Amino acid sequence: MQLIDAHCHFDDERLDRDRDQAYRRARDAGVGIQIIPGIKAAWWPRIKQTCETYAGLYANYGLHPMFVADHRPEHLAELQTWTETEKPVAIGECGLDFFIEDPQSDLQRFYFESQLDLALKYDLPVVIHARRAVEEVINTIRRYRGVRGMLHSFSGSEQQARRLIDLGFFLSFGGAITYERAKRLRHLIQALPLDAILLETDAPDQPDSRHRGERNEPAYLSGVLETAAQLRTESSDRIAQQTANNTKTLFSI
């Protein structure tokens, strides 16, 4: 059984102390592939280095909406260069986050839409972060005909989920579904078609209920899989295989 972590910040400095061991634990848990999203330009080199060091890791490069204060217009030109030279499997993590303090919404929209333009130019999927902004994200991507991708750590409604699926997007779920109080997310895992679902950890953030308060890591994806299998009353093998196939299809790996 092969698992793919569709969204993992394995380059994060919180993994510096034991990254080799965390990588081995992930492989031992069946997680053979990780998709590594970009956050800001200053961190792209460490993503490149991490993906070159560890087999089965695939880079994305992008400008995350939570770090909008760190972004500069010239970073978009750099992103185009990195896309051309480094051949990432996606653009992102991009999107909108209206939960953070002083979101600078117009600036977020500028960087999001600029990255959608790049994704279309290079025929790459986008990895989207949407918090308190799912509806606007949907309305935005409708204007970018042909754009495809995933919404990571999806937190919208079932209606929004189905609209995104109709637009050709995948929805990714992580440790949050292991908490019994997350009733909407647990319902979504049950209700949505399996061929539209990806599994992720978002490590080192968003640990599952077994590791509440701890640093997350990709090995814990097995707990997300176990919960998804229980909620869907399907075998873990089937869910692992289909979600892995979905991830490979999206990222052309």
Distance of alpha carbon 228 from alpha carbon 239, whole angstroms: 8
Residue 185 domain flag = no
pTM of the prediction? 0.98
The range of the structural domain enclosing residue 149 comes to: 3-172+191-222+236-251
15: domain CATH number is 3.20.20.140
238 pLDDT more than 90: yes
SS3 content of the chain, % helix, strand, coil (to 5): 55, 15, 30
Strand order in the sheet with 90-97: 3-5, 31-36, 57-61, 90-97, 126-131, 149-151, 169-173, 197-199
16 pLDDT more than 90: yes
Residue 178 domain flag = no
Based on the structure, what is the number of domains in the chain? 1
- Tell me what percent of the residues of the chain surpass a pLDDT of 70: 100
36 pLDDT more than 90: yes
Residue 218 domain flag = yes
127-132-136-142 Cα dihedral, nearest 10 degrees = 40
Name the amino acid, one letter, at 90: A
User: Which residues of 31-76 form beta strands (DSSP E)?
Assistant: 31-36, 57-61
| Cis amide leading into 37 (omega within 30) | no
Distance of alpha carbon 172 from alpha carbon 189, whole angstroms: 10
| Cα separations in angstroms, 3 against 26, 109, 134, 224 | 9, 33, 27, 11
Residue 10 domain flag = yes
Residue 72 domain flag = yes
Summarize pLDDT for 178-193 with one digit per residue, the tens.
999 999 999 999 999 9
Distance of alpha carbon 86 from alpha carbon 121, whole angstroms: 15
Residue 179 domain flag = no
Instruction: Identify the band that residue 135 occupies on the pLDDT scale cut at 50, 70 and 90.
Output: very high
Contact 61, 47 (CB under 8 A): yes
Residue 181 domain flag = no
| Structure confidence at residue 1 (pLDDT) | 81
Name the amino acid, one letter, at 114: S
Residue 53 domain flag = yes
